[in-house]
Structure formats: structure tokens, C-alpha cells
Structure 1
Amino acid sequence: MDRILHFEQDEHGVVILTMDHEETRNALTGNTLVDAFLAAFERIEADPAVRVAIITGAGKAFSSGGSIHEMERQLEPKFDSAALRHEYREGIQRLPLALHKLEVPTIAAINGPAIGAGFDLACMCDIRIASERAIFAESFVKLGIVPGDGGAWFLPRLIGMSRAAEMTLTGDAIDTQQALEWGLVSKVVAQDQLMDECRKMAQRIAVNPPEAVRMSKRLLREGQHSRLDTLLEMSAAFQAIAHKTADHAQAVGAFMQKRAIRKTTH
């Protein structure tokens, strides 16, 4: 894996992806980080042993978002609007599409500031756990630009339209306490406890039957935009598959055995 993104996999099927580009505080543009993420996602999808993926940053920041040097380059006259639109579609916009359709659950371990596109990256994950050093900002308007990577789709679904509008239109940062109150993060922990907490969460997910977990995640995703009758039809199809898995048969057998034991001991 590219040195800019470290790939670590443990015996429980938990993958940790660590952004490591200290000079830009883990910026997502102006480097090969998006390509590295996409390669990591392909590797995860190809390996049925992977149960959960954790995304975090090395150093003091989770991600600073877009590279200011890349923005300066984009001001050059040769980059007209059509060229820039193409750059976004073939560049950073591949990241939300790939991460959103990733079958395994994802946890953002937010170790420090998550700014702009870096904040949106955290919002793309299924679960967010933050260290006490984290701050969050949908800061695009401060630079006279807009959320170009899907933030306007993800953020209202997490915290509601009014709060999403507040963050997007002011560009102001919020701290971990406000993020916790708004339901943006599940938990805030001390910096030295962050990865342990995220691993514990990952292992709580990883112990469950993997196909049921993957299909449950897909239903949650589809439920964000589907009609109820459409989601119910999809749920019925997934449930029919789940009922015929070895994991389900084993779980039912174990439950019935425990109940039989309880009856004989009373």
C-alpha cells in the first residue's frame, strides 16, 4: 500500500487505514491519497475475512481537507470551469462513492481536526468516535468554495438540515461536546484511548455473522433515500438469504440449546 496510507489487518478481520501525510496534515487532494483509499477499498472488498474498517490519521490532525497548494494551482488560467468539474468528478468525488458503497462497516477514529473535505470523510463513515482533541468544520465557504465532495448530502442526514446549514453557511468549527450533543459522533474519549475504543467497537461488530452485518449496513444506506415499500421488499429478499445461512442456523441452534438447558435445570 502507498506510504501515504497505511493498511493494517488483525486476526479479527479489522482493518485500520491510517492517513500519513504530515506536511499537509493528511490533506485529501494534491497527492495520491484518494487513489490509495480506492486501492485499499478494493483490497477490502476482495477479502471476505475483513469484517470492519477503521479510518484515522497519523499526527495531530485527522485530515485538513483540500490542499491549499492544490487550490492555488487551480486558480491558473489554464483551468477553466469545465476542466475543474472534470477534475472533481475524476478526483476526490470517487472517494465518497467508493466509501459509501463499501460493504463492511466503517468507523472514523477522529484523532484531531477534521476540516472541510476531511470532515466530510468522517461523515462518510458509518460510526464516528472522536478524541478530545478533535474539532469539526464544514469550512468551504471560508475559502469562497462549496462542499465539492458530497458533504451537502452526508451532513444533513447526520445532524439535520438546520444544524447542517449552520455549519455549512458559517463555516465555523464546533468542538467535541457540541458534536456529541448533535449526534455527529457516538463517543468522545481521551486521545490515548481513541484507537482502543475504536478497536473495541470494531470487535463488537466483527463477532457477528459477516453477511448479516453487510446486508444490515446496506439496508441502512438504502433507507436514507428509498420509499418504505421499496426498502421492505429489499429487506424481505435479504432476510430470505439470511435465513438460509449457516451462521443463522448455528445461532438458532445455540439459542434452542440454551433454552433446553434452562428448562432442565428448573
Structure 2
Amino acid sequence: MSNPFLKITRDGAIVTLTMNQPETRNALTGNTAVAEFVQACADIALDRSVRAVIVTGADPAFCSGGNVKDMLRFQSPDLQPEAIREEYRNGIQRLPKALYHLDVPVIAAVNGPAIGAGLDLSCMCDIRIASEKATFAESFVKVGIVPGDGGAWLLPRAVGMSKAAEMAFTGEALDAQQALACGLVSRVVPHERLLDEAHALARKIAANPGGVLRMTKRLLREGERSSLESLLELSAAYQALAHTTADHHEAVRAFIEKRAPRFVG
């Protein structure tokens, strides 16, 4: 498509990725969305000066997930299941592998409906804050398909298995306050304040040493699938690295000297 899906902006150590095709409610299929997300994540991963990322959508939606009109092509009698499987593996499934595994902390600023793969996209982020206009639905069942983008793995880790099953089996939407009550989001803010709140949170994160932020996020990710013993071993190795960094030395000196630290990365 001629217009990029992502609008990428930067403020110091904070990168904001705005899904910017409001005419499709920022749908993730039938366009270059996945490829752009994958490239953006690769660029951010290599840029050690980036300390926080915000993902949001151009109003009125955060992300409508898969483009239902684009699904019509799967009804072709000439299209074999094997081809559809490969399209998922080489298409939408590249998104969670890139975004969920990005070492930099990621905040989803959910400004409106997050539907299907749009909800799952928010769950690929570390922190979710919601506008009062946000809604959330694991709605694949409503169009006769299953979560093909990893939602069955992501959503239970965000809200627990019982709530995830309820959402996936009914396809019904939660409003922002319901999402807050079940822990899907950590806060709900006025719509006009959403990006200000997201940037304020990102600045608090970015004020900390970048290398330690990345290692901390990796420990959180590894902790989701590791034994305590394995995670303790990895934590000891990361801690050995952290203790040798200039930022750690500066933090200790600043604490002793009762001043604000000056981290250099």
C-alpha cells in the first residue's frame, strides 16, 4: 500500500508506533502491517538508546484485528488448507514473535476497540493502559475461526484461564472498566489524556538504565516458562553483568551522595 501502516515518532529514548489506517480501523491483514511491525521491532532492538516503546492506534479504533473482507479470499475452492496454514505462519504469526519478544519495555495505549488480533496485539505488550473509550474482545469465534495469532497463549497470561476462556468462547466485548477489573489493563484514563499518560509512564521507565531494563524484561519473559531454579541461574548471570555496568556504579555513587543519578547507557 502507498501509505505506511505505522507512523513512527521518537521523543528522546521513547519510540511511539501509531497504527495509522483509521479507514480500516487499523486492521492488521490485507496490508503491510505485519511487515512494518517486524521491521520496527528489529530496528528498535538494535538501537540501544531506545528505552521504552508505546503502541497505539489512530482514532477511533486501536486495532480491529484481521480484515474480515480480506477473509473472503480463503473461500476460494482452489485454496488448500496447507496454503492457509503457511500464510498464517509467514504472516500474522510473525507479529507476536517480533513484538512479544522485543527486549525493550512496551506500553499499549489502547484508545478504542481492540478486537480479535487487536486485543492479542495489546497482550503482546508489557503494560496496557486504556482510554475510557476502549473495548476488548477475543472475537474470533464470532466469525467462525480460532485465534490464529497466539491469542490462546497470550490472553490467559494476561487475565487468567477462566476469564480468557469466557472471552474466547463467547466473543463478547469488555468495556474499559471491566478490563481494569480483570487485570487486562492496569489503568483507565480519560480519552484525551491517554497519550499524555502513556508518555508519562514511558518517561518513568526510560529514566532507568537501558541495559538493565532489557535484562529485566527478558527475566520476566523467561519466568513465564522457566522453573524457579532455571530463572535463578539466569538472574545470577544477568546480575553479574549488571554489577559491572557504568550505570550501576553511577547509581550506587548517586545514592551515597544523595543526588539524582546520571545514566549514560
Q: For residue 18 of structure 2, what is the aligned residue in structure 1?
A: 18
Residue 201 of structure 1 corresponds to: 201
One-letter code aligned to 1:247: D
Question: Which residue does the alignment assign to 1:182?
Answer: 182
- Alpha-carbon distance between aligned partners in 1 of 2:110 and 2:6, rounded to the nearest angstrom: 15
Cα shift at 1:80:
1.3
Partners of 1:124 and 1:102 in 2: how far apart?
9
Deviations 1:47-78 (A, max 9, x none): 11111110000120000000012111111112
> Retained in 2: the 8 A contact 1:215–1:238?
yes
Letter in 1 for 2:29: T
Q: Which residue of 2 aligns with 1:135?
A: 135
Aligned to 2:5: 4
Q: How does 1:58-97 map to 2 (within 5 A)?
A: 58-97=58-97
Match of 1:231 in 2: 231
| Match in the other structure for 2:263 | none
Deviation by residue 1:168-202 (Cα, 9 ceiling, x = unmatched) = 01101011111001111011011100000000000
Give the distance between the partners of 1:192 and 1:213, measured in 2 at CA: 29
CA distance in structure 1 between the aligned counterparts of 2:145 and 2:93, rounded to whole angstroms: 15
- The TM-score with structure 1 as length reference comes to 0.95
Unaligned runs of 5+ in 1: 260-266
Contact 1:111/1:133 (8 A) holds in 2? yes
Amino acid at match of 1:167: M
Q: Aligned-residue CA RMSD in angstroms?
A: 1.2
Give 1:2 shift.
Answer: 6.0
Listed one character per residue, the Cα deviations across residues 75-98 of structure 1 (whole Å, up to 9, x for unaligned) are: 111221100000000000000001
Whether the 8 Å CA contact 1:2–1:36 is kept in 2: the answer is: no
Q: Distance in 2 between matches of 1:17 and 1:258?
A: 37
Partner of 1:263: none
TM-score (norm 2): 0.95
Structure 2 Cα separation of the partners of residues 25 and 245 of structure 1: 44
2:149 match:
149
2:4 and 2:32 in contact (8 A); partners too: no
Q: What percent of counterpart residues are identical?
A: 60
CA displacement at 1:9 relative to structure 2: 0.7
Local SS of the residue matching 1:129: strand
Name the SS for the 1:101 alignment partner.
Answer: coil
Is 1:29–1:65's contact at 8 Å kept on the other side of the alignment?
A: yes
The code of the aligned residue for 2:6 comes to L
Q: Give unmatched runs, 5+ long, in structure 2.
A: 260-265
Structure 1 residue identity aligned to 2:217: K
- SS at 2:100's partner residue? helix
Give yes or no for the alignment of 1:28 onto 2:31: no
Q: Post-superposition shift, 1:22? A: 2.0
Partners of 2:78 and 2:57 lie apart in 1 by: 33
Distance in 2 between the 1:18 and 1:171 partners? 26
**Aligned residue number for residue 53 of structure 1:** 53
Contact kept in structure 1, 2:57 and 2:110, CA below 8 Å:
yes
How far, CA to CA, are the matches of 1:43 and 1:9 in structure 2? 13
